[in-house]
Amino acid sequence: MAQNELPVSGDCPTTNEMPMLGLGTWKNSDPEACAESVATALETGYRHIDTAQAYGNEDAVGNGIEQAAVDREDVFLATKIWIDNLAYDDVLETAEASLDRLGVDSVDLLYVHWPSRTYDAEDTLAAFNELYDQGKIDRIGVSNFEPEQLAEAIELSDAPIFANQVEIHPLLQQEELREVCADHDVELVAYSPLARGEVFDVAEIESIADDHGVSPAQISLAWLRHHGITAIPKATSGEHIRDNWASLSVSLSDAEIETIDSIETTDRRVDPDFGPWNN
């Protein structure tokens, strides 16, 4: 593949039918810009779009999917229930509202956004299972769950816990959580996979990027993919959307993987007081 030639959609690997590179939409709150970025991503080749109730853009994401010349059934669409809406009845009511805003009958993956505030493992997951049984969600996910919360969710949910979406990048490698998820056959989805831009200033990543003639972003995304982790980098401009997509053409050597694995910095970029690691 020529260096300036972008991979096509079929070149994106999948794990359990989930494309391993998706578009994150956090803070993409301008309706027109958000819809345009989603449409651009889909036309570039992306087939995985991630949003959330808390992002305030589900309607714009739905508009972007509608605008793109891509069939809905070819798009892996995920959203998340916010921490104020995790009581049993609220899950059912607000999930329906999310589907309406997205303009779809079902989503491929629905997450518990955080195990916080109104989250009650038994009641919340019972509601998620009801949505699953009704065919309104194809998979149940959790987000920002530490090993203890994940084990509890797996025990209480009749349907499988498909994925845990957490912050993972070369500066927060989450080795223990990666092992736990692997042991339980739970997919890992990385948000902030570029550490909110901090990977651009990591000498080891910069050096490997220079050797490949690509961006540090592409190296970080290739590192995640090597470890079987799905990444959903946020991007709004066509340039960044295409640059992230081009990471699918990057293959790292064992030595390069080892170099990144050996980075000892721990830098959590998303750290709210209600994060389970703070309680």
Which residues does the annotation mark as catalytic?
55
Tell me how far apart the alpha carbons of residues 205 and 220 are, in angstroms, rounded to a whole number.
7
Residue 122 is encoded by which pair of tokens?
Answer: 């038994």
Tell me how far apart the alpha carbons of residues 47 and 21 are, in angstroms, rounded to a whole number.
8
Tell me how far apart the alpha carbons of residues 10 and 134 are, in angstroms, rounded to a whole number.
30
Backbone φ, ψ for residue 18 (5° rounding):
-100, 120
Give CA separation, 35 vs 7, 10, 73, 99, 144, in Å: 22, 23, 18, 16, 26
- Quickly count: other Cβ atoms within 10 Å of residue 100's Cβ: 12
Detail the DSSP E strand segments found in 65-210: 76-81, 109-112, 140-143, 161-167, 187-191
Find out whether 79 and 51 touch, Cβ atoms under 8 Å: yes
Find out whether 169 and 217 touch, Cβ atoms under 8 Å: no
> Which residues is 24 bridged to in the sheet?
50, 234
